[in-house]
Amino acid sequence: MTDSSLFALLNEIGIIEQLARTRFERGQPDGLRLPQFTVLNHLVRLGDGRGPAQLARAFQVGKPTMTHTLQRLEERGFIRLDPDPADARGKRVMLTEAGRARRDAAVRWINDDLAPVATHLGMAPAAALPALAALREALDQARDSATPG
């Protein structure tokens, strides 16, 4: 066996991610980057009030990277960083109205941009969604147990 189908799948995923990322970033008029949008989207969908460290873990990203991304979002007025009343070390990432609006606009842009592709592909993406969700969950579970190189 040369390639497992899982390897082939990850291959496709890597290419698609790269295509989608550059497409998204080139399309934003204000230079909103994909990590920034991803954080906004996360806050809208899962709620705000969590701290940077928790977000960093959720996105599998270093704490300094999250600090940086949050600074950019705060500069743009899309989030507030409130002190955590329960923990003097901690901060709470709060979505602002502008942040919610910017996220919604980005989602609209994505849907508009993808509309031709979506009609061309039909229901195939919806059919593939459960498999990918299962894969994502499995990889997420397996985070700690990696094969030694």
Residue ranges binding a second copy (CB under 8 A): 1-23, 26-30, 34, 38, 41, 59-61, 107, 109-114, 116-118, 120-121, 124-136, 138-140, 142-143, 146-149
Q: Which does 53 bind (CB under 5 to 8 A by kind): DNA, a second copy, none?
A: DNA
Q: How far is the CB of 141 from DNA (least distance, A)?
A: 19
Using CB under 7 A as the binding rule, whether residue 73 contacts DNA is answered as no
Rounded CA gap, 67 and 39, in Å? Answer: 12
Q: Which does 64 bind (CB under 5 to 8 A by kind): a second copy, DNA, none?
A: DNA
DSSP string, 38-82: HHHHHHHHH-S---HHHHHHHTT--HHHHHHHHHHHHHTTSEEEE
Q: Of the candidates 4, 12, 47, 89, which one interacts with DNA according to CB under 7 A?
A: 89
Structural contact between residues 11 and 2, judged by C-beta atoms closer than 8 angstroms? no
For tokens 């509309």, what's the residue?
115
Q: Of the candidates 33, 76, 80, 100, which one interacts with DNA according to CB under 7 A?
A: 33
Closest by CA position to 35, among listed 7, 10, 55: 55
Instruction: Report the residue number, 87 or 112, with the smaller CB distance to a second copy.
Output: 112
